[in-house]
Amino acid sequence: MRTDESADRTLLARAAGGDGSAFAAIHDRHVRPVYWQAYTVLRDADAAQEVAQDTFLTLWRRIASVRIVDESVLPWLLTTARYTALNAGRRLSAVRDRAAPLDDAEPPGAAPSPEDEVLAAEIRALIAAAVSSLSPTDQRLYRLCVEDDQTYERAAAEVGVTHAAVRNRVSRLRSRLRADLSTLREQS
């Protein structure tokens, strides 16, 4: 059992008061499990390191509202690391999906075929119709998370809902759009 002086609750209170050495002690105590939590999700050492840093940055920013469980800040850190890693994984996946292999790339300056233009216009119209039929909150979340590629955390803060609500709503939006787009593919 830790002494009261070294317990996370005491260190967190001191860090919230501006004690950098207390925050450093929390970091040193928990950085390895936070890193491994991120690595478990991402399977990328560099990305996991960034997530670990982001997790401690989030701790610093929200230090006054962090809830301690059983005298330890570790459960909060691990949960935050997991969701931060999931968001980072989605961003990395989106970047990889956007990067077309060189074999499939159009030559520079090549104009799209008329068929491609018509299909792209149909897809844009279908997405616009699907988005316009959403509630105002869902439309805003679509723009923030899908079009603007904001994190769920930022979108939640901007819209005034929980991170979990954003995650669930955006997941439903994407599923709905996929279903609408698959209908278009079947028709063509």
Using CA atoms, how far apart are residues 79 and 131, in angstroms rounded to an integer?
Answer: 31
- Within a domain: residue 104? no
Q: Confirm if 4 and 10 have CB atoms less than 8 A apart.
A: yes
| Residue 4 neighbours by CB under 8 Å, 6+ apart | 10
In a domain, 3, yes or no: no
**Cα-only R_g, the chain:** 22
Contact 85, 77 (CB under 8 A): no
pLDDT in tens, 56-112: 999 999 998 888 877 899 999 999 999 999 998 888 777 666 655 555 555 555 566
**Domain for residue 123, yes or no?**
yes
Distance, in Å, from the CA atom of 140 to the CA atom of 120, rounded to the nearest integer, reads 23
Three-state DSSP class for residue 62: coil
**Does residue 140 lie within any of the structural domains?**
yes
20: in domain:
yes
Mean of the per-residue pLDDT values for the chain? 81
Reply yes or no on whether the pLDDT at 5 is more than 80.
no
- Determine the structural domain holding residue 28 and report its residue range: 8-99+110-185
Distance of CA 151 to the CA centre of its chain: 4
Q: Please state the domain count of the chain.
A: 1
The answer to whether residue 105 is domain-embedded is no
Condensed to tens digits (0 to 9), the pLDDT of residues 107-163 reads 555 566 777 777 677 777 777 777 787 788 888 888 888 777 788 888 888 888 888
